Structure 1
């Protein structure tokens, strides 16, 4: 696949188990379950900041869970290849702007999340 090829859409149910379960835990604000789906050396990039390893990821999840009140709806999914997936979410809440569509770009390794980049 070249960079100009479109990324194929998949049903959200076709996302790998680690992503599907992580997203459910993230939405439920079940931080312990969410963190379990990351590798020990995982990286999360959100709002221009990088979080490395389970302790920093846990802190990021706790902070983001309490910072704003919002609803999140999974609106689409794409499979780039066997290790890379995109889950698109629509958020509405009391954060600046109030509405945003975000792409959660996942990289998997050994059936766990090794990288997550969240971007508009």
Structure 2
């Protein structure tokens, strides 16, 4: 089953990289957003299976966006990503309801596709 994914990051270069990593893995990219509020509107309109979501956004942080997505659309899997390690965020990561976390410098297409896909690993 192909995952339908929304990519959310305020850097267009990262969005292009994520698309280039995921599309060869059979992931369908429904759209891209650069701000948290835009991401929420796009999730409502597009109903993706999953969201690859940057932690640092210019308007809302990724934790707030993740909580809002999980509250309104609990079936949507959210994979947070950041240049910082998970430990840098303390309990905020665990409390927001994200499905998984991906360090940007360790992204690979297969790993992220697995996290975003159905039955992928739950966050630890």
More helix by share: 2
Task: Name the TM-score, length of structure 1 as normaliser.
Answer: 0.29
Answer with 1 or 2: which has the greater Rg: 1
